[in-house]
Amino acid sequence: MNPVEALIPGVQGRVLTVLARTEAELTMRSVAELAGVSANQATVVLNRLVRLGLVERRDVGAAALVRLVRENEAARSVLSLVDLRQGVLARLAGEARKVRPVPTCLAVFGSFARGEAHENSDVDVLVVPPPAAQADGGQWTAALGQWSDRAARIAGNPVNLLEAPVEELPRLVRRERAPWRTIVEEAVVLIGAFPSEVRAAS
CATH 3.30.460 location in the chain: 84-201
Per-residue model confidence as pLDDT tens digits over 111-169: 888 888 777 889 999 999 998 887 777 899 999 999 999 999 999 999 999 999 988 88
Q: Which CATH class is domain 84-201?
A: alpha beta
One-letter identity of residue 114: R
Q: What is the pLDDT of residue 182?
A: 83
pLDDT digits (tens, 9 = 90+) for 175-201: 777 788 788 888 999 999 876 656 555
13/36 Cα distance (integer angstroms): 11
Instruction: Quote the pLDDT of residue 195.
Output: 67
Average pLDDT over residues 94-115: 92
Q: What is the CATH number of domain 3-81?
A: 1.10.10.10
Region 59-85 average pLDDT:
91
Mean pLDDT of the chain: 89
- On whether the CB atoms of residues 54 and 116 are closer than 8 A, the answer is no
pLDDT tens digits for 10-32? 999 999 999 999 999 999 999 99
Q: What residues does CATH 1.10.10.10 cover in the chain?
A: 3-81
